[in-house]
Structure 1
């Protein structure tokens, strides 16, 4: 499985968020990649929806609380990562 990447939509960002977009994308991507590694390692046959929920939980745990509170990933993309974990087991 390829490492998942997070890209923020510039049209949905405030001017301050736009200035911080690069570092923010890096932090979000890093947290998601670490979560993916952990969830993949701990995977024990759970369904895709459970895996997606755990990915979100673990990603938020790896972020600063203020960033985690505002982190709302595309659910379809999160599900695709979860499906890759489930099907690679």
Structure 2
């Protein structure tokens, strides 16, 4: 348990950051789920729009330190190719 004033403050800050990061991760997952659902439905326009909306959210996750840049880069690359494949099928 935290004893010093500094360690108590750090514990409070840690809880606050945890809550903010958890919310941000959840928001990112929601955007990714919308892209996945649009791809699964086969709607090219909806998939492209959802992907366009998800890109800045993922980038924000990187800048805020929630996700690693290579992870986001990989996810965006794979999603982009899947959205493009939906367009090719239609």
Report the TM-score when normalising by structure 1: 0.42
Task: Report the structure, 1 or 2, having the larger helix content.
Answer: 2
User: Greater Rg, structure 1 or structure 2?
Assistant: 2
